[in-house]
Amino acid sequence: MKTVSVYSGKLFIPFVLALLLPMLAAAKKENHHSVHRHVRFSARTVERRLIALEAADLYYEMDLRDSGLNEKALEYALLGYHHLLKRHVLHKATVLSVCDFSQASSAKRMYVLDLQNKRLLYRTYVAHGQGSGRAFAHSFSNVPDSYKSSLGFYVTRNTYVGCNGLSLRIDGVEKGFNDKAHARGIVIHGANYVSERVLHKYGTMGTTFGCPAVPENMASQIIPVLKNGTCFFIYYPSRRYLLSSRMING
């Protein structure tokens, strides 16, 4: 019996090791991945906090408290802006534009910011799509022929002169939210129905087929500043968008 016991032990130990070694290797690998994930999570947390501080500083330096701009919208705008910077797709990194669609169209809710000199370059009216709502935009879509505005981040491209005069092409960079902007013909352009005259006459601003249109007399000033690779952000406190956007959540 003793001989059998020793012989069984000799077989048992390699058998146990054969089972344990893959488990130990897997545990070590999982621990490595866990540490790596923790480091990445910590880095993102630190980055978000730094950007929140940057947003608070800009909000104060540019004296935006009484402008109507949602401070959280500026923070989200900077999160996406920095994400685009890391992807090297912004060719004019000093300019950031924010359309705050949490405000009514009767408010001057488009803000063009000079990040380098911490100055508000322009604050003006901007129209939303007629399918998104009348005085307030509350519904958004990436679907062609929806006539709705699309939320999220865009990178500006080249200008052209079309039926709306000087216009600026923009590329939506968020899949599922605005990446069909080019196919939908979504551009920045001037419009005579985006004006205080229309606002006073009808009590509300005109709407578009989905384009973020600015006052006709402002287009020739704003579009040259925005063109050729600046960050353009359309904000609304949509829970679905804010939780799903990779630009905001890394």
- For residue range 172-189, list pLDDT tens digits in order: 999 999 999 999 999 999
In terms of pLDDT, which residue wins out, 20 or 184? Answer: 184
96 and 165 assigned to the same domain: yes
State the total domains in the chain. Answer: 2
| Contact status, residue 226 vs residue 168, Cβ threshold 8 Å | yes
35 and 90 assigned to the same domain: no
**pTM for the whole thing?**
0.84
Question: What's the rounded Cα separation, in Å, for the pair 230 and 239?
Answer: 26
Question: What's the rounded Cα separation, in Å, for the pair 71 and 237?
Answer: 12
In terms of pLDDT, which residue wins out, 10 or 31? Answer: 31
Q: Tally the residues of the chain.
A: 250
Domain that holds residue 139: 62-249
- Give me the pLDDT at residue 42, please: 80
31 and 102 assigned to the same domain: no
194 and 140 assigned to the same domain: yes
- For residue range 152-165, list pLDDT tens digits in order: 999 999 999 999 99
Q: What is the mean pLDDT of residues 8-20?
A: 49
* Nearest Cα residue to 159 out of 225, 233, 106: 225
